[in-house]
């Protein structure tokens, strides 16, 4: 039976000047009378209109390709059906159907570019009724995106699997939506690259920025300069054939591959094999530590540019993308300062600073990149006077830097605010917008020069095992920021959808959730179910320290030789349990601390935390890795005791003496201190309760 469309609301998005309809219909599904859940789409499409009823997904489900077709689309459909099978376990039809009978009819208009370009049409339209679905797109890029949207719409219902009737018109806000993976500091196995490309496809990211060289490794086979990978990688590098496979794999998913070859800093791994282009005498060995290193390319030697000409030429042929990333960041100048010849060169050329010298180097390298048919992209530092207009500024500095470049007609992308290695919350990344602050005041034409952004997965403390949990699900929130209209900013909605997407990413083969459990099993060793549960109760409310805290502490510098098997390596960057508990406390406080049910839930959680430490003790005695977190367990116990005291005090509705408050806050402060590079998350929530209690239970919105 068809259902009636009940409610809708409309939003007006000024930025792009078009009207967006967001129609979260409240429908009455067939059998239960319950509310229809919201659509779990991420990124949220530009325009969604819910219709009546839903399309059943059954074993007979089939797909037809019409209009323009190509093998990539066939493979895309095959992948789509494979994923549909995984999501539902239905035995769906693997053979393409004739269009009239197909459940999903796809129409693609014309091919996309042979080498994917920035700003190609990625739009699509998806129309689903209870009778069937139609996906239309100008190019295969839109078709691929539309298939992902369809997969996100498939859900279980009271009758079977189904897609709600919906009409979606969608296109991205920014044309450059990337993920950087640093395969230099820790090598990324191909299997890990591939599953992350799958994840990128699922959330419509379209640039894989491959950070291939750094002080800790040169990860590409070079036939011109074989000592680059032979001496500079400890045997962990990608052959050119493997690179080509990854590029093809990415192209199949509508993803460009932009390689990065860091210079003139971040180059120690080059010097191991080719010390002659370094600014200081060798021999060199691969760096194994955290931090900014001194070695730098000698920008004064002609030999340097001969070398780079050949290397860039070889790599420009290997990577078909129009853009070639030349790095450029974090040259501390020490190597140049210590070399008298370089000092002479600076004087002779009238360069006052090392920045001037780097600008000279940048100009020359940009010419080499242009010579080999590419446009250069590089970190803020490459934005030097006289740079060609086709370069792209990759900003670690922020939107103001992009705005300054745009005013001079230069294009840019943002990574400042998207450094996912800093362990920020999804909400914090989500709030970062490439067109905020100074960029907000650009003219519409200048705004077009801000191409988008990239999440950056620097890998100092990241390997095959925990890289997924550092990238996902937070990167899906960044993907939404770069795809969806600027006005899509509801954090609660984001988190609700992120939870669903996160689970689905695991179905694709990503391991951000499952590996957490396995790492905890390693940390625990043989444990009773109760002991293991106690460990997980603790670690579920821990997060790694933020920003560069870990790298800056002396005992954690040996990034290449230290095992990543600690609790800090296992816990996700953002504690879901901690966030939810914080929301519960906010709810309680903002409702004048009078909701009895919430009070009971808070108390039950505090009791569990308080008693958890005793349960964890036997394990902490047996396992050195559990013991590292034992103090955090005691802190959690103490924090919970303070929380119970606060609830008790609130119940009395009488102001508490100052020393009571000071006592409780001292416990909170103690719990706030990082230990074993771990933060205990519920501190803020307990502090709110203590403050509410000390004010005599006079609770107000403490947000």
Under 8 Å between Cβ of 264 and 297: yes
SS3 107: strand
Least gap, CB of 503 to a copy of itself (angstroms): 6
For residues 574 to 603, the per-residue mask of contacts with a copy of itself, x marking binding by CB under 8 A and - elsewhere, is --x---x-----------------------
Q: Rule CB under 8 A: is residue 517 a binding residue for a copy of itself?
A: yes
Give residues with Cβ within 8 angstroms of 83, minimum separation 6: 151, 507, 508
How far from 342 is each of 276, 277, 292, CA to CA, in Å? 14, 12, 21
Catalytic residue (choose from 330, 506, 583, 631): 330
SS (H, E, C) 476-542: HHHHHHHHCCCCCCCHHHHHHHHHHHHHHHHHCCCCCCHHHHHHHHHHHCCCCHHHHHHHHHHHCCE
Q: Interface with a copy of itself by CB under 8 A: which range of 273-281, 614-622, 633-641, 686-694?
A: 614-622
Site for a copy of itself (CB under 8 A): how many residues? 46
Q: Rule CB under 8 A: is residue 373 a binding residue for a copy of itself?
A: no
Q: Rule CB under 8 A: is residue 34 a binding residue for a copy of itself?
A: yes
Least gap, CB of 565 to a copy of itself (angstroms): 3
| E strand map for 266-332 | 323-325
Q: Rule CB under 8 A: is residue 522 a binding residue for a copy of itself?
A: yes
5, 40, 436, 557: residue in contact with a copy of itself (rule CB under 8 A): 40
Under 8 Å between Cβ of 639 and 686: yes
330 is catalytic: yes
Least gap, CB of 350 to a copy of itself (angstroms): 49
Nearer CB in complex with a copy of itself: 454/543 = 543
Q: Interface with a copy of itself by CB under 8 A: which range of 415-423, 454-462, 546-554, 618-626?
A: 618-626
Tokens of 534: 């106690």
Tell me how far apart the alpha carbons of residues 419 and 427 are, in angstroms, rounded to a whole number: 13
Q: Rule CB under 8 A: is residue 59 a binding residue for a copy of itself?
A: yes
Nearer CB in complex with a copy of itself: 227/580 = 580
Q: How many CB atoms lie within 10 A of CB 316?
A: 18
For residues 291 to 320, the per-residue mask of contacts with a copy of itself, x marking binding by CB under 8 A and - elsewhere, is ------------------------------
b/e 524-549 (16+ beta carbons within 10 angstroms → b): beebeeebbebbbbbbbbbbbbeeee
Q: Rule CB under 8 A: is residue 664 a binding residue for a copy of itself?
A: no
Nearer CB in complex with a copy of itself: 231/416 = 231
514, 553, 594, 654: residue in contact with a copy of itself (rule CB under 8 A): 514
Tokens of 387: 């740079």
Under 8 Å between Cβ of 366 and 300: no
Residue among 354, 224, 227, 343 at smallest CA distance from 284: 227
492, 554, 555, 561: residue in contact with a copy of itself (rule CB under 8 A): 561
Q: Rule CB under 8 A: is residue 500 a binding residue for a copy of itself?
A: yes
Nearer CB in complex with a copy of itself: 310/565 = 565
- Which residue blocks in 396-466 are alpha helix, DSSP H? 399-407, 426-430, 444-448
Q: Rule CB under 8 A: is residue 89 a binding residue for a copy of itself?
A: yes
Tell me how far apart the alpha carbons of residues 450 and 486 are, in angstroms, rounded to a whole number: 14
Residue among 104, 135, 147, 370 at smallest CA distance from 254: 147
Q: Greatest CA span in the chain, whole angstroms?
A: 84
Dihedral pair phi/psi, residue 107, rounded to 5°: -125, 120
User: What is the DSSP-derived secondary structure letter of residue 673?
Assistant: S
User: What is the DSSP-derived secondary structure letter of residue 655?
Assistant: P
User: What is the DSSP-derived secondary structure letter of residue 68?
Assistant: S
SS3 165: strand
Tell me how far apart the alpha carbons of residues 446 and 442 are, in angstroms, rounded to a whole number: 6
Q: How many CA atoms lie within 13 A of 548 on its CB side?
A: 8
Q: Rule CB under 8 A: is residue 448 a binding residue for a copy of itself?
A: no
Q: Rule CB under 8 A: is residue 130 a binding residue for a copy of itself?
A: no
Nearer CB in complex with a copy of itself: 119/160 = 160
110, 224, 518, 653: residue in contact with a copy of itself (rule CB under 8 A): 518
Q: Interface with a copy of itself by CB under 8 A: which range of 364-372, 375-383, 431-439, 516-524?
A: 516-524
Terminal Cα distance for the chain, rounded: 45
Least gap, CB of 649 to a copy of itself (angstroms): 28
Q: Rule CB under 8 A: is residue 88 a binding residue for a copy of itself?
A: yes
Q: How many CB atoms lie within 10 A of CB 594?
A: 12
Least gap, CB of 568 to a copy of itself (angstroms): 13
Residue among 150, 123, 175, 195 at smallest CA distance from 39: 150
Q: Rule CB under 8 A: is residue 627 a binding residue for a copy of itself?
A: yes
Dihedral pair phi/psi, residue 650, rounded to 5°: -60, -40
Least gap, CB of 90 to a copy of itself (angstroms): 5
Q: Interface with a copy of itself by CB under 8 A: which range of 19-27, 279-287, 392-400, 496-504?
A: 496-504
Q: Rule CB under 8 A: is residue 18 a binding residue for a copy of itself?
A: no
Nearer CB in complex with a copy of itself: 65/498 = 498
Q: How many CA atoms lie within 13 A of 427 on its CB side?
A: 10
Least gap, CB of 40 to a copy of itself (angstroms): 6
Tell me how far apart the alpha carbons of residues 686 and 665 are, in angstroms, rounded to a whole number: 9
Least gap, CB of 64 to a copy of itself (angstroms): 20
506, 586, 595, 631: residue in contact with a copy of itself (rule CB under 8 A): 506
167, 521, 663, 684: residue in contact with a copy of itself (rule CB under 8 A): 521
Tell me how far apart the alpha carbons of residues 579 and 585 are, in angstroms, rounded to a whole number: 10
How far from 261 is each of 162, 209, 213, 217, 218, CA to CA, in Å? 46, 11, 6, 11, 9
87, 148, 446, 459: residue in contact with a copy of itself (rule CB under 8 A): 87
Q: Interface with a copy of itself by CB under 8 A: which range of 300-308, 347-355, 495-503, 685-693?
A: 495-503
623, 633, 656, 664: residue in contact with a copy of itself (rule CB under 8 A): 623
Q: Interface with a copy of itself by CB under 8 A: which range of 69-77, 163-171, 382-390, 617-625?
A: 617-625
Q: Which of residues 144-173 bind a copy of itself (CB under 8 A)?
A: 155-160
7, 101, 110, 624: residue in contact with a copy of itself (rule CB under 8 A): 624
Least gap, CB of 458 to a copy of itself (angstroms): 20
Length of the chain, please?
Answer: 703
Nearer CB in complex with a copy of itself: 59/353 = 59
326, 369, 393, 625: residue in contact with a copy of itself (rule CB under 8 A): 625
Tell me how far apart the alpha carbons of residues 117 and 319 are, in angstroms, rounded to a whole number: 13
Q: Rule CB under 8 A: is residue 604 a binding residue for a copy of itself?
A: no
Q: Interface with a copy of itself by CB under 8 A: which range of 393-401, 522-530, 643-651, 660-668?
A: 522-530
Please identify which residue in the block is written with the tokens 């050195």: 624
Q: Rule CB under 8 A: is residue 529 a binding residue for a copy of itself?
A: yes
Nearer CB in complex with a copy of itself: 18/507 = 507
How far from 237 is each of 218, 231, 453, CA to CA, in Å? 7, 11, 27
Q: Which residues here bind a copy of itself, judged by CB under 8 A?
A: 32, 34, 37, 40, 59, 87-91, 155-160, 465, 499-500, 503, 506-507, 514, 517-518, 521-526, 529, 561, 563-565, 569, 576, 580, 618, 621-625, 627
Instruction: Report, as residue numbers or ranges, the catalytic residues.
Output: 330
């Amino acid at each position: 039976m068809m259902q009636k469309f009940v409610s809708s609301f409309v939003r007006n998005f000024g930025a792009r000047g078009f009207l967006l309809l967001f129609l979260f219909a409240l429908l009455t599904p067939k059998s239960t009378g319950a509310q229809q859940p919201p659509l779990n789409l991420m990124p949220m499409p530009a325009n969604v209109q819910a219709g009546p009823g839903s399309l059943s997904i059954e074993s007979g489900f089939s797909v037809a390709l019409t209009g323009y077709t190509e093998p990539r689309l066939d493979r895309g459909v095959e992948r789509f059906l494979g994923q549909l099978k995984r999501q539902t376990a239905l035995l769906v039809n693997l053979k393409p159907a004739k269009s009239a009978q197909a459940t999903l009819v796809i129409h693609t208009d014309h091919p996309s570019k042979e080498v994917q370009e920035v700003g190609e049409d990625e739009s699509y339209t998806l129309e689903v009724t209870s009778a069937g679905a139609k996906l239309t797109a100008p190019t295969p890029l839109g078709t691929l995106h539309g298939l992902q949207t369809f997969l996100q719409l498939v859900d279980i219902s009271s009758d079977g699997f189904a897609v709600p009737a919906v009409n979606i018109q969608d296109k991205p806000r920014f044309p450059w939506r990337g993920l950087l993976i640093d395969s230099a500091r820790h090598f990324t196995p191909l299997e890990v690259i591939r599953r992350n490309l799958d994840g990128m496809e699922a959330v419509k990211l379209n640039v894989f920025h491959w950070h291939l060289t750094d002080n800790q490794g040169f990860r590409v086979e070079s036939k011109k300069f074989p000592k680059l990978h032979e001496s500079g990688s400890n045997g962990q590098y990608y052959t050119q054939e493997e690179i080509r496979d990854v590029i093809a794999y990415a192209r199949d998913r509508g993803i460009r591959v932009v390689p990065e070859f860091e210079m003139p800093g971040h180059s120690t791994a080059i010097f191991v094999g080719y010390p002659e282009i370094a600014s200081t005498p060798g021999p060199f060995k691969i760096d194994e530590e955290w931090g900014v290193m001194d070695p730098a390319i000698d920008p004064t030697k002609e030999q340097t540019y001969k070398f780079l000409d050949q290397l860039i030429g070889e790599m420009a042929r290997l990577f078909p993308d129009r853009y070639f990333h030349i790095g450029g960041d974090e040259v501390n100048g020490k190597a140049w300062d210590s070399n008298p010849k370089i000092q002479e060169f600076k004087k002779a050329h009238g360069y006052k600073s090392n920045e001037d010298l780097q600008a000279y180097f940048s100009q020359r390298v940009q010419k080499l990149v242009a010579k080999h048919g590419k446009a250069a992209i590089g970190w803020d530092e490459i934005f030097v006077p006289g740079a060609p207009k086709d370069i792209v500024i990759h900003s670690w500095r922020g939107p103001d830097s992009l705005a300054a470049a745009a005013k001079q007609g230069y294009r840019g992308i943002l990574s400042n605010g998207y450094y996912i290695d800093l362990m920020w919350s999804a909400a914090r990344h989500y709030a970062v917008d490439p067109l905020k602050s100074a960029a907000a005041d650009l003219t519409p034409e200048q705004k077009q020069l801000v191409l988008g952004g990239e999440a950056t997965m620097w890998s100092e403390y990241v390997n095959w095992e925990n890289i997924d949990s550092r990238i996902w699900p937070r990167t899906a929130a960044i993907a939404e920021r770069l795809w969806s209209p600027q006005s899509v900013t509801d954090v609660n909605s984001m988190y609700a959808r992120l939870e669903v997407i996160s689970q689905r990413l695991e179905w694709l083969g990503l391991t951000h959730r499952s590996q957490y459990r396995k790492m905890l099993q390693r940390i625990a060793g043989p444990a009773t179910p109760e002991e293991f549960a106690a460990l997980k109760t603790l670690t579920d409310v821990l997060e790694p320290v933020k920003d560069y805290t870990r790298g800056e502490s002396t005992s954690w510098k040996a990034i290449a030789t230290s095992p990543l098997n600690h609790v800090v390596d296992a816990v996700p960057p953002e504690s879901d349990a901690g966030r939810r508990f914080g929301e519960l406390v906010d709810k309680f406080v903002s409702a004048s601390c009078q909701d009895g049910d919430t009070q009971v839930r808070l108390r039950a959680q505090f009791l569990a935390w308080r008693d958890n430490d005793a349960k964890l003790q036997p394990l902490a005695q047996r396992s050195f890795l559990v013991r590292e977190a034992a103090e955090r367990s005691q802190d959690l116990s103490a924090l919970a005791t303070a929380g119970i005291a606060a609830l008790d005090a609130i119940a009395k509705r009488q102001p508490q003496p100052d020393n009571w408050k000071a006592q409780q806050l001292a416990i909170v402060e103690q719990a706030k201190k990082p230990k074993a590079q771990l933060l205990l998350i519920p501190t803020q929530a307990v502090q709110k309760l203590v403050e509410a209690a000390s004010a005599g239970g006079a609770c107000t919105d403490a947000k």
